[in-house]
Chains A and B, each alone.
Chain A
Amino acid sequence: MNTEKRLAYWRANLRLMSFCLAIWFICSYGFGILLVDQLNTIRIGGIKLGFWFAQQGSIYVFVLLIFFYAWRMNRIDREHDVHED
């Protein structure tokens, strides 16, 4: 496998990773901490939104995010022909 192909695979990986980490950051540190007061003025389902993100919402996002990453990454592996067996 030549350097160019490996680099293309690695770049695709880093792109997906940065996207996922951005969402990870926005939902926890953004919505749950830095913007909590602003979001608390909105109420959804009986809970202040900022508080909900800090105590439950961010955790749901984390779970979905890992499964999304695993699924996309498997596809990228196959597209670049570096998947196992």
Chain B
Amino acid sequence: MSLQMLTYIVVGLSFALYIGIAIWSRAQNTGEFYIAGKSVSPLANGMATAADWMSASSFISMAGLIAFMGYDGSVYLMGFTGGYVLLALLLAPYLRKFGKFTVPEFIAERYYSKTARIVAVICLLFISFTYVAGQMRGVGIVFSRFLEVDVTTGLMIGMGIVFIYAVLGGMKGITYTQVAQYCVLIFAYTVPAVFIAIQLTGNPIPQLAFGSEVVGSGTTLLDKLDDIVTSLGFNQYTSGTKSRIDVFCITMALMVGTAGLPHVIVRFFTVPKVRDARLSAGYALLFIAILYTAAPVVGSMARLNLMNTFQTGEVGTEDGNLLYDERPDWVNTWEKTGLVVFDDKNGDGRVQYYDDSNESFMPIAEQYGWKGNELTVDIDIIVLANPEIANLPNWVIALVAAGGIAAALSTSAGLLLVISAAVSYDLIKGIFMPNISDKKELMASRIAAAFAILVAGYLGFDPPGWVGQVVAFAFGLAAASLFPVILLGIFFKRVNREGAIAGMLTGLVFTYGYIEFFKGLFLKGVGAPWGVNDAEHWFLGISPEGIGVIGMCLNFTVAIAVSYLTRPPPEHIQHMVEQLRVPRHVDVKQ
């Protein structure tokens, strides 16, 4: 059977499954729509959270990023997992005890302020739309590559599917669909990893193959990789180029950002009990870890395979490099997409792939008769091309397509839901029409979800240049605005309305301003970025990706200082905080 046919069948079957589940678990009321009626078991919620969290970029881009960044890629591995520890220990159980529907609602009640709620809704909408635009783009790319339709058609199909289950099913439908999507995506990620690990090291468990010896070479995977990349002028794989403080801050911003992302937090509102919220965070991270501990191995194996493909013999010898005419099929396929580009600079008909920006390697390259690096490989193709690079059967490639689509769809659906809840619940019901009936509110939330899909589809179809750049901002924003006030709301009774609003705004403005200054976001038309974006000019050597940490510290400081300068929160709020801190409902007025 052809690859095309197989891909249609595998992807089609997975879609049928998702839609079937959505119809079976349709939401009947607003409680089911927003938080699945608080009836999801911790295990199922953990799986759904994992699918929600692992987006198209975790599935498609991360291993590729690590393959090219080596040690520096650790910021993503630690940063995207460590936040769950913060969630489980600092936020999830208390927010579950709070027992309402959304993050802005918590901020509104704890800080007895509609202004705080509106600021929170703005942060939430910004974070979620940034994210969802990237996801929709991912859907479009995967569809266009594997179903060989154009990106627009791919997007339309994706929007249609998400529409059916997000709008009909609400949180209940989404949760159970995400459980299925997790299974599809983890299977699709693991199968090629197992095959490649066996081929390279003889060890069938990818996680353990990290330290194994490469078959027939007598050296370990990482040593061999270090040897080959340094012999071609690249930076050593197991050490980094980023400064220590920057690695520290980026990791911290991603971790704290994770814990502050509304679509992740809201997951822990759906379980029946406080203790389920703690356990569920553990399950979620366990399921995430299965992919995240395989990713660095997939990345290093892919890098080694890639180097070996082009450097077939000893470095510097005349026939040490691959003849372009003898290139494998996958190079050919990806060249057509423009994501792999070959340029025979020295005209010898062979592919020289090395780091030509490394000055100390230049004389050596010259001696070899090389006139510059001749191959560019887009990092996003690593995971998608991996099965082809390793010559795996077609059904594995079809499976990877289905996995990539599952990852993108599950995350989009989760994001659309928090967007729709923020609009219908926080804005319409919470602020403008407090007396709206349950039925009308459900209607409003479905309309909001449908509208959000259209906006997301538009952003995915014609992504504004800022999408790639604002991802760092979305994390920085979550870390600098929402996380500190939620945390203080639980652990610091003295923090009041004035402190929270001042803190959120300080964190937000500082982080936004810094990123705008160095990278340029929305003010590109009027001259941004103004700063030179390199380590010498950064504040304390911290890149815009990591600056959310400083924003977070400012938020904490300002919130506490302003709170002490103004009146303490009213007594009933202090009781509310006391109540949050114990799992069972108790009398706190003694």
| Among A28, A60, A77: residue with most chain B CB under 10 A | A28
Known contacts A45-B211, A51-B71, A66-B85; A29/B251 CB under 8 A: yes
Give the contact-size bracket for chain A. Answer: 35 or more
Does B77 belong to the interface (CB within 8 Å)?
Answer: yes
Contact pattern, B 563-590, Cβ under 8 Å of A = 1, otherwise 0: 0000000000000001001111011101
Does B279 belong to the interface (CB within 8 Å)?
Answer: yes
By secondary structure, the B interface counts as helix
B88–A3 CB distance below 8 A? no
Out of A3, A6, A29, A62, which one reaches B85, CB within 8 Å? A62
Task: Please name all residues of chain B whose beta carbon is closer than 8 Å to the beta carbon of A51 when the two chains form the complex.
Answer: 71, 74, 222, 238-239
Task: Please name all residues of chain A whose beta carbon is closer than 8 Å to the beta carbon of B221 when the two chains form the complex.
Answer: 46
B586–A47 CB distance below 8 A? no
Contact pattern, A 32-43, Cβ under 8 Å of B = 1, otherwise 0: 111010001000
Nearest CB of chain B from residue A75's CB, rounded to whole Å: 11
Task: Please name all residues of chain A whose beta carbon is closer than 8 Å to the beta carbon of B446 when the two chains form the complex.
Answer: none
Out of B88, B210, B247, which one reaches A66, CB within 8 Å? B88
Does B439 belong to the interface (CB within 8 Å)?
Answer: no
Known contacts A47-B222, A66-B278; A2/B590 CB under 8 A: yes
Task: Please name all residues of chain A whose beta carbon is closer than 8 Å to the beta carbon of B282 when the two chains form the complex.
Answer: 63, 66-67, 70
Task: Please name all residues of chain B whose beta carbon is closer than 8 Å to the beta carbon of A59 when the two chains form the complex.
Answer: 77-78, 81, 289, 292-293
Task: Please name all residues of chain B whose beta carbon is closer than 8 Å to the beta carbon of A45 when the two chains form the complex.
Answer: 211
B89–A21 CB distance below 8 A? yes
CA–CA, A6 and B90, complex, Å: 18
A62–B222 CB distance below 8 A? no
A84–B82 CB distance below 8 A? no
B211–A33 CB distance below 8 A? no
Known contacts A47-B222, A63-B286, A66-B88; A28/B586 CB under 8 A: no
Known contacts A51-B71, A56-B293; A1/B285 CB under 8 A: no
A55–B74 CB distance below 8 A? yes
| Among B282, B584, B588: residue with most chain A CB under 10 A | B282
B238–A33 CB distance below 8 A? no
By secondary structure, the A interface counts as helix
A10–B583 CB distance below 8 A? no
A82–B584 CB distance below 8 A? yes
A48–B584 CB distance below 8 A? no
Nearest CB of chain B from residue A60's CB, rounded to whole Å: 7
A47–B582 CB distance below 8 A? no
CA–CA, A69 and B285, complex, Å: 13
| Among A10, A13, A34, A67: residue with most chain B CB under 10 A | A67
A69–B583 CB distance below 8 A? no
A7-64: which have CB < 8 Å to B? 9-10, 13, 17, 20-21, 24, 28-29, 32-34, 36, 40, 44-48, 51-52, 54-56, 58-60, 62-63
CA–CA, A46 and B212, complex, Å: 6
Out of A6, A32, A63, A84, which one reaches B275, CB within 8 Å? A84
Which residue of chain A has its CB nearest to the CB of B70?
A51
Does B356 belong to the interface (CB within 8 Å)?
Answer: no
A84–B248 CB distance below 8 A? no
Which residue of chain B has its CB nearest to the CB of A29?
B248
Contact pattern, A 69-83, Cβ under 8 Å of B = 1, otherwise 0: 110011001000011
Out of B78, B210, B252, B587, which one reaches A54, CB within 8 Å? B78
Known contacts A52-B210, A56-B293, A69-B89; A32/B78 CB under 8 A: yes
8 contacts between A and B (CB under 8 A): A13-B581, A29-B248, A29-B251, A52-B211, A62-B289, A63-B286, A73-B93, A77-B583
Besides A62-B84, A77-B583, 12 other A-B contacts (C-beta < 8 A): A2-B590, A6-B582, A13-B581, A24-B85, A29-B251, A46-B213, A47-B220, A55-B210, A66-B278, A74-B275, A84-B273, A84-B583
Interface residues of B (CB under 8 A from A): 66, 71, 73-74, 77-78, 81-82, 84-85, 88-90, 93, 207, 210-213, 220-223, 238-239, 244, 247-248, 251-252, 273-275, 278-279, 281-282, 285-286, 289, 292-293, 296, 578, 581-584, 586-588, 590
Interface residues of A (CB under 8 A from B): 1-3, 6, 9-10, 13, 17, 20-21, 24, 28-29, 32-34, 36, 40, 44-48, 51-52, 54-56, 58-60, 62-63, 65-67, 69-70, 73-74, 77, 82-84
